[in-house]
Amino acid sequence: MTLTIGQIDPQVLHRFQKAVGIGKVYGPWTKTRTRTHKLPMTVYRYNANGGWAEVQAVVAMLWFKLSPVKRAQAAEALTRYYRIRHERAQEPVERPAVSHAACDHPRTRAARNHCRRDSLARLA
């Protein structure tokens, strides 16, 4: 999970980074892959290897400082992410049966990937 915050004023994000002690500040940019900004945009980004719980901990550290609007945004984002991850975990994963007995090539990683691609193509 990635915690991302965009701002026009980079000082705000540098203060935020200093307060939480993690993450990096990138930018400023006027263009991104998806749109062009009127003013230069700076982004704080933290890739949380611990996932939802780590991002929730950062939000909890700052909760008392957040405005009601930012609290609602943070709660909605965390709830949405948790719900999506929980729903995905409940879905059964169908994996095609791969038999190497029918293969006449050596059992290397490349050969296993070849067999997997062939079995997926047969299912399509």
d(CA 41, CA 28): 5
- From 81, 7, 82, 92, select the one nearest 41 (Cα to Cα): 7
User: What domain range includes position 24?
Assistant: 2-90
Partnered with residue 45 across adjacent β-strands are: 4, 24
Please give the tally of structural domains in the chain.
Answer: 2
Axis-axis angle for helices 68-90, 52-62 (nearest 10): 170
Q: What is the mean pLDDT of each run of 10 residues along the chain (124 residues)?
A: 84 89 87 74 83 82 88 88 76 54 55 54 51
Tokens of 28: 């400023």
Residues 10 and 62 placed together within one structural domain of the fold: yes
Residues 83 and 118 placed together within one structural domain of the fold: no
Residues 26 and 53 placed together within one structural domain of the fold: yes
Residues 47 and 67 placed together within one structural domain of the fold: yes
Residues 69 and 22 placed together within one structural domain of the fold: yes
Residues 18 and 53 placed together within one structural domain of the fold: yes
User: Per residue in 96-119, pLDDT tens?
Assistant: 555 555 555 555 555 555 555 555
Burial class (CB in 10 A: 0-12, 13-18, 19+), 121: exposed
